[in-house]
Chain A
């Protein structure tokens, strides 16, 4: 492999990671946009989502990488997998909001954030205690199709992950920009009080935001499993921090920013891991996080909404 090929290969890898981080970052950014809360539970909703998806695929009779599907059966299995995962993760997010976070909505200070840490910890340990600490072999029905571009390899799974992510983000964008509910959401993000006075049910909007954010995290969880062929209780922490960095990088509260930030972080992880050693990847990413916060706290695209001080 020439240097050129290596770079190309890492860009392919980076875009795949980035697609996953973008989906995850969207949840952070949307919740922050609406209620100004860093939702640490999001880390592990993603992780739980990957397990839910695993069960869903296993329910369809797919175990490990033994059984490969092609054509319509593959499309059907994946559609069912994504749909059920996103629904279940979304409901999990709504339940968390309804039970643990709504009573905290008007409490000042760190209480709500601490609650999300607690919820995150509960999810983490439930999976650890029930599923064990080992990595789970993930059902993966994708056929081993790949194309060679120079010395780099582009696999079917990557193309598929990119397409799914693009579709989800496209749908989200249209939803937020073009529909009535999306408009209500944007209004609530800008000024909750004013939105309430205009007859918008703020509680419903917050719930919807949690649903969408968590559903996207669930989708990211499924993508993680398909990409790495395994999952474990640990995946939420690292991926969550990177996705959060992506959200900050893009400008927290900014939906397009989160998508861009995710791609950038994915590329940095892949290329940076190549240039330096992989073990320093986290240090690079946190340095970016701290650098952005210290020098340009509004992120690359800036805040989409004015924030209270």
Chain B
């Protein structure tokens, strides 16, 4: 097995360079000489050294200033990337949070707000955050000069608070409404700022904002210290972004982005996670606002209008939505385009105009066309390169063949899965009990007065013609739809109308007939999302990675591999076949790390099952799990379901293949037009006249 696991690794090394242009190959030649494992640290080293030495190399104050501004916009882009790129929420009023951060610091670090001095302010003076100032011929007033270093996190927190405030009313709506609502908020904030001159000095803007100070050294108006501070902050935010992306939180965000309903059904609390993304993005913008106003020493409402939000959006679209290095690159490119390239180009065009004596060319101002360029970039990127310059990576290290082949398995699963075991219920308590469940869609009654029980540790088959209400019944049990009447009890507790993620937490997991997998995430990530309800890491834990979170993540991955090994084994022979077919299908070798589109439907069905089992359910609802499988595969999956049942899982199964139902079901229920027409042991149901009529029509029933 050890040999087998090395084979694909060698192939992977050799395969990609086949179609590379000679120029690129020549440029990459020096890189090739560095050992693969060392490339990342070496590259990082160059990047850090280059960033640190930049002011010494450039020496031009204007250029350093432009670079500092570019880095500030990279911070904004990183924040918006969390909202748009990770969670898929289009925020068009992002500049509002930038404004909030800027004005919060501006107001407490300038002489805009000068309340009369009272002793209440004394503690602030002791802390050095305010001082008592004499006014000629008047009462003493307070001068606020709260420390920049205090306000940097402070403004982030305030902006995050506003993020929750703005997001809460609308985040439960469809995503596109959010775009327009945030656009509205983005418009309101500058209006409020303009119309509350006592606090903000209105359209004139705040002036004389105090610059940061470190150990007695004041930043003042020179750009270099701001440049270093911005570089540090960008590095910090990149770090935070990466940590979040590769965590339970990041996976849940991406699941929401890919398929909101399925994310809920996997145990992700959508509202909460969307709010989290929204507020973390806002916090980044708030901190950036504080930095920016400290650097400029002034803030006006015009600095935070809609075009700023669009510019940041263009940055992440250009760089690659969801890609951390991409958005930083996008921000740098656009800022430098604006402050360097277009100006230089204008100069050249003017020179050309003087040379050829053209009046028109001498008056061209290319800098003004920047917004036109933004618009063109947005459209072109969306049309031709939707993933941006540096697409968000979708693959991680590959699985060895040994890992893929862990479980060859006709005859069910030989091992017991940790965490899947029988639950002890008081005698007589059914696992699931449904009473009088009814659901109407307009004039159609999809489920009608349905009563039904499932005993613990049984496999129940739910059959019925198409459109008989089976999937609707699943949706009602798992909280994707709310019943018009009736109740659902799970392990004796009423779960009617609970949100879908809570139901997963209680212990019901499901698969989907229509395969709602998260298409742009790897198989492993999909399965890890299935574990969302069983893991605890929060955003802070995801960033700081304390030992408990590390251990949880490690356990989760091991558990996910364990589950995948059961359902993923079938991929092995195909992997070999396809590798013989050529490098085009190389993705398949990556198995758990491959993407959705590299799989075929049968594989996807198993993958969906794995994702549901990963949630460690008590009751597993499978919606046509064997659709599209050949007879051998079908029986294999049936045996696996039986094995899961032996470990203690209760299974409810929608299935059209009666041989599967016959083989593994302890009990069968038949639905027709939303009503239960039969229930009982397999043989009983087969003889039931109503069932025959529902399936084969009246004449067939009469012919018995």
Contact = CB atoms under 8 A, between A and B. Distances in A.
Interface of A: 36-38, 100, 103-104, 107, 109-115, 117-126, 128-129, 237, 241, 244, 248, 279-280, 282-283, 286, 289-290, 293-294, 297, 306, 309
Q: Which 3 pairs of residues, A with B, have the shortest CB-CB distance?
A: A118-B378, A121-B375, A294-B169
Contacts of B180: 38, 241, 244, 248, 289
A118 B181 contact: no
B382 A115 contact: yes
A110 B191 contact: no
19 contacts: A107-B386, A109-B257, A114-B313, A115-B383, A117-B92, A118-B377, A121-B375, A125-B375, A128-B371, A129-B369, A129-B372, A244-B180, A279-B194, A282-B191, A283-B191, A283-B192, A286-B184, A290-B169, A294-B169
Contacts of B383: 100, 103-104, 115
A74 to B, nearest CB: 38
Contacts of B317: 114
Interface stretch (B170-178, B290-298, B690-698): B170-178
A104 B372 contact: no
A118 B379 contact: yes
A223 B92 CA distance: 29
A37 B176 contact: yes
Contact of B84 (A107, A110, A294, A309): A110
The dominant DSSP class at the A interface is helix
A118 B318 CA distance: 12
A126 B185 contact: no
A110 B88 contact: yes
A101 B374 CA distance: 17
Contacts of A103: 383
B376 interface: yes
Contacts of A36: 176
A280 B261 contact: no
A289 B181 contact: yes
Given A110-B179, A129-B368, A293-B173, 5 more contacts: A115-B378, A118-B377, A118-B379, A283-B191, A293-B169
B177 A283 contact: no
Given A114-B317, A118-B377, A122-B376, A286 B90 contact: no
B452 interface: no
B382 A111 contact: yes
Contacts of B306: 237
Contacts of B176: 36-38, 110, 113
Contact of B184 (A109, A112, A241, A309): A241
B195 interface: yes
B170 A118 contact: no
A34 to B, nearest CB: 14
Nearest to A133: B368
B63 interface: no
B187 interface: yes
B183 interface: yes
B685 interface: no
Contacts of A114: 90, 313, 317, 378, 382
B184 A289 contact: yes
Contacts of A104: 382-383
A118 B376 contact: yes
Nearest to A286: B184
A129 B366 CA distance: 10
A290 B379 contact: no
Contacts of A306: 442
A15 B404 CA distance: 69
A293 B181 CA distance: 9
A56 B115 CA distance: 58
A69 to B, nearest CB: 37
Nearest to B481: A309
A237 B377 CA distance: 20
A219 B88 CA distance: 35
A268 B90 CA distance: 28
Nearest to A115: B382
B495 interface: no
Contacts of A289: 180-181, 184
Given A110-B88, A118-B378, A121-B372, A38 B179 contact: yes
B187 A286 contact: yes
B420 interface: no
B188 interface: yes
Contacts of A293: 169-170, 173, 177, 181
B310 interface: yes
A279 B372 contact: no
B183 A122 contact: no
A97 B254 CA distance: 29
Contacts of A241: 180, 183-184, 187
Given A110-B84, A117-B310, A237-B306, A286 B185 contact: yes
